[in-house]
Amino acid sequence: MRTKKKPIFPQAKITLEMFGENIKLARLRRKLSMDQVAERAGIGRSTLIKIEKGDESVSLGSYFQVLFVMRLEKDFLDVAKDDVLGRKIQDAGLITKQRAPKRASE
C-alpha cells in the first residue's frame, strides 16, 4: 500500500532545493563522481540524484550519510545551534506551559 505524499510548504521546498544544490556543489568541488558518493554512502545513484535535487521524499538519514561521506557531518550540528528567536521567546517568558488548576472535589 502506497502512502499519500504529504505537502511541503513552498519556502521549505525552496530551502531543501538549495540544500541539495549545496550538496551537489560540495561533491563537485571534491571531484567525486555520483557513483563514488552513492556507493560510499550506501545508497543508490537515483537516491543521490534526488538528494541533489532537494527531494523531500528522501530520508534524513540518506542526506546525513552523503554529508558524512564528504566530511560535512559537523555542519549538520550547526542546525538550530544559535536559535535567536527561540532564546528571545524563552527570555521573555512567553511560553508557559502549565497545567490548569485541578477542580476542587465536591
| Residue 20 within any structural domain of the chain | yes
| Residue 15 within any structural domain of the chain | yes
Cβ–Cβ under 8 Å, residues 69 and 35: no
| Residue 105 within any structural domain of the chain | no
Tally of structural domains, the chain = 1
| Residue 20, C-beta contacts closer than 8 angstroms, at least 6 positions apart | 51, 52, 53, 54, 55
Give residue-wise pLDDT tens across range 2-46: 677 778 899 999 999 999 999 999 999 999 999 999 999 999 999
| Residue 81 within any structural domain of the chain | no
Cβ–Cβ under 8 Å, residues 65 and 42: yes
| Residue 40, C-beta contacts closer than 8 angstroms, at least 6 positions apart | 69
| Residue 85 within any structural domain of the chain | no
Residue 5 pLDDT? 73
Instruction: Read off the CATH number of the domain in which 39 is found.
Output: 1.10.260.40
| Residue 59 within any structural domain of the chain | yes
Cβ–Cβ under 8 Å, residues 66 and 36: no
Cβ–Cβ under 8 Å, residues 51 and 20: yes
Tally of residues, the chain: 106
| Residue 86 within any structural domain of the chain | no
Whole-prediction pTM: 0.75
Query: In this structure, what are the phi and psi dihedrals at residue 29, rounded to the nearest 5 degrees?
Result: -60, -35
Give residue-wise pLDDT tens across range 47-103: 999 999 999 999 999 999 999 999 998 888 888 788 888 888 778 875 556 677 777
SS3 66: helix
Domain that holds residue 58: 10-72
